[in-house]
Structure 1
């Protein structure tokens, strides 16, 4: 067979296969949680559990991208939003628990599109977060998570079931299979449990296996060939799954032509502007090429145009990208409370290195990332966000920081809310059920003390998190994980 023939065949078949798979996409876990089946521990984290609840006098950011609306009332019945409107427009049912939330913002529960259930440290060390992760995510207002890459897939699947049965508090989970790569020189990737596929049949068998085990997404990683990636996309779509990737050896335009569904990390992971890049190889110079990229270069517009035309979504992970620049912020008091001492010490050392290293071009790279995301959205692209918990970007807290950075970069507050909520739901195929605040939607809401339009950092002041109509106390959830992120 001529070189690349099977690759081209996968591209040509993509339209037909996607049509077959489309009805299967988006069948997420949105069934109402049985309140009677909640464990005593889950109940201990609840602040509001009445069957009918009215949130009154709130400043509402509904996730659609429309302007904030003040003086709004939201009525929740069971696990659904019953009605939304201004004072006098909404009838509050007799017996409802009424919460006067004047001075508070309300937004949809955040949808984390790159939110692992492990925490990556600088040793390197990846520590599973079966206990601390779900509590910290939920306490910060993240009510839905895609586990975008797994190092312990059966633990992730077990956690998903435990949350759905009401045994463990946490966001609803959509599971991504273990990372998949091609054989290559980076032994570190194999050390982290990534699967190096040998041939086309191995690639297809891998996808079928994890589809049968309950994974909804596949994630390819940096060391992957074009032919392997095309085969994985082809088989995943046959199985009703979607594919995302943190790329390097393959460029964004190449992956877009193959029919990939989602691209992670934005411009940070696009090697196609590196003129020294060899086919199917990850160049060590590609990030420097991004930093030196002129954002008016017509190649940038071409990439964005092709992604938008093909419906390829992108995930912003600017909170963790910030951690890899001289701009890295200090650990906050809440970070220090959540992390054990040995992780804090390692993180302080890492920050010192990044702040003193002679890599000022990393700031240019970061700024180009933000400009790329603004241009992508302006062109009609669907941008979501996720924390990618690593270094000092903690579960949930990093999702909040994503929102802050997006606003700092130039996004309107309402657009930033949409990116961290509704757009993620759309990419997951769950937008008919969640992601915006509207009658009939699942009651996933974040109650925040303050005005996130006047002060984006107010998003850190979460007071109640509603998931499936139940109001969780973030203080109890975060207190439960003190000193345990990175060890439990």
Structure 2
């Protein structure tokens, strides 16, 4: 039996006139605006990702996919003689974002009243939208289809489809009681160890522990991940932050809002309930309490990073984000997905606790950084929808500024800090000679107005400039199903 997918049929039909490899190349080139062997971005403002002040009227030289020189626009230095020069007067260039809590799936709409929560692999939309939004490197924060995620990574690296550089996390390390039918439930520590060993061999580059696993299962997963030279993060509930740090975890997701160690009567290896814990944090937990400060100090001492996911947290608050901010993201969603998101969003208008929770998390993140902690960022495009890859990462930057960080500090959190955690800060995460030319060209200055991070015109990955608008147009109306 001969079964051919549509693409394979087309490839077969045109074999005599056009090689398939050429077709793949032309499909990718539809999104490329600049791909000169040597390129100069002239008269540009640079926010380099280190937290330093913007540098005005600069010149960035790109050769061989890397940044070969940075200097004042008045001095041409040793620019390549045949370089293509782009006048970028009025533009800002910042480093490509290093998204540290991203996903390649999205909630499916139209769930029956007694139906299961299901998530569709966003194989077409997510990679393009991340890149279009300025994310040039992304760690997936848990996988529901790890083989699909790995194949997407390989297809992107082979130049077959556009997308960021991916660090693929293995399937969720989840215990008994999960809400998601698509997650394997660990049976014991040996099961956790087996899962880590298997997926490390398959090529995943990180792991994520989830709500219901036990401390013994978490310890087994950590030890086996570390034995493979890989890191493990966690969105935990059964295990508190200090206990996880003592067990050797590398990173914790979301921050204070999911830490259950302060919940009255918390029992070992038992998740007290998400809503119950959130209500306790809102009503009773003081971020300035000595116990919280002690937890922060403990995480810093153990070198445990925190991933800020303010964009998804904001969806739990009333009338946020502003609807005018949502219009572009809504266009990328299917009609059904957009309708479901807006319907649930409207119910949040009746909630009074979300704003308190959001601001407590913002305070926690400020104090974590002030204490010397490594804060990173990712948009976590899940929950009940609305947080769309790329757009959500931009919103994170705006919310970090609302939390009290300066614009250049927020950009560092969302770029260089993630690169440092991954051990790749010598290659990516900031704009400096010798690093990969992973950069975002903005039609405004985010240091003056952070909302200018939404004005993405072009995204460079390894020196190739992708057209943000073209990438978005190619998947408009697909988020929620593809």
Q: TM-score, normalised by structure 1?
A: 0.89
What is the CA-CA distance between 1:336 and the residue it aligns to?
2.2
Q: Does 1:454 find its partner at 2:448?
A: yes
How do 1:373-412 and structure 2 match up within 5 A? 373-390=365-382, 391-412=385-406
User: Alpha-carbon deviations, 1:127-173, whole Å to 9, x = none?
Assistant: 11111111111111100111110001110011010000000110011
Residue of structure 1 equivalent to 2:143: 150
Which residue number corresponds to residue 107 of structure 2? 120
**1:77-92 correspondence runs (5 A):** 77-91=63-77, 92=79
Q: Match of 2:461?
A: 467
1:133 to 119, 126, 131: 126
1-structure distance, mates of 2:267, 2:23: 55
Tell whether the 8 Å contact from 1:277 to 1:286 is kept in structure 2 after alignment: no
Give the superposition deviation at 1:445.
Answer: 0.3
Number of the residue aligned with 1:62:
48
In 1: Cα distance, 2:333 partner to 2:38 partner: 37
Contact 2:34 2:466 in 1 (8 A): yes
From 154, 167, 171, give the equivalent of 1:161.
154
The SS at the match of 1:178 is: coil
3-state DSSP of counterpart to 2:475: coil
Does the CA contact (< 8 Å) of 2:254 and 2:309 recur in 1? yes
Q: Is the 8 A contact 1:444 1:466 kept in 2?
A: yes
* 1:314-335 CA-partner distances (Å, limit 9, x unpaired): 1000001001122422262212
Q: Tell me, yes or no, if structure 1 residue 307 matches structure 2 residue 307.
A: no
Tell me whether 1:365 sits opposite 2:369 in the alignment: no
**1:419 alignment counterpart:** 413
Residue 89 of structure 1, CA deviation = 4.0
What does residue 98 of structure 2 align with? Answer: 111
Q: Which stretches of structure 1, 4 residues or longer, exceed 4 Å deviation after superposition?
A: 35-38
**Residues 423-434 of structure 1: pairs in structure 2 closer than 5 A:** 423-434=417-428
2:290 aligned with 1:290:
no
List alignment gaps of at least 5 residues for structure 1.
Answer: 1-34
CA distance in 2, matches of 1:386, 1:89: 38
Query: How large is the RMSD of aligned CA atoms in angstroms?
Result: 1.5
Alpha-carbon distance in 1 for matches of 2:242, 2:108? 31
Q: Distance in 2 between matches of 1:52 and 1:173?
A: 26
Aligned equivalent of 2:33: 47
1:344 aligns with 2:338: yes
Output the CA distance in 2 between the equivalents of 1:102 and 1:273: 52
Residues in 2 aligned to 1:121 and 1:39: alpha-carbon distance in whole angstroms: 32
Contact 1:143 1:171 in 2 (8 A): yes
Secondary structure at 1:112 match in 2: strand
Residue 446 of structure 1 deviates from its aligned partner by 0.1
Q: How many Å separate the matches in 2 of 1:305 and 1:89?
A: 47
**Partner deviation per Cα, 1:398-456 (whole Å, 9 max, x = no partner):** 00000001011110111101011111111111111000100000000000001101111
Selected match of 1:353 from 344, 347, 355:
347
Residue matched to 2:479: 485
TM-score by length of 2: 0.90
SS of residue matched to 2:405: coil
Q: SS of the residue aligned with 1:299?
A: helix
Deviations 1:20-62 (A, max 9, x none): xxxxxxxxxxxxxxx9997211111100010111111111110
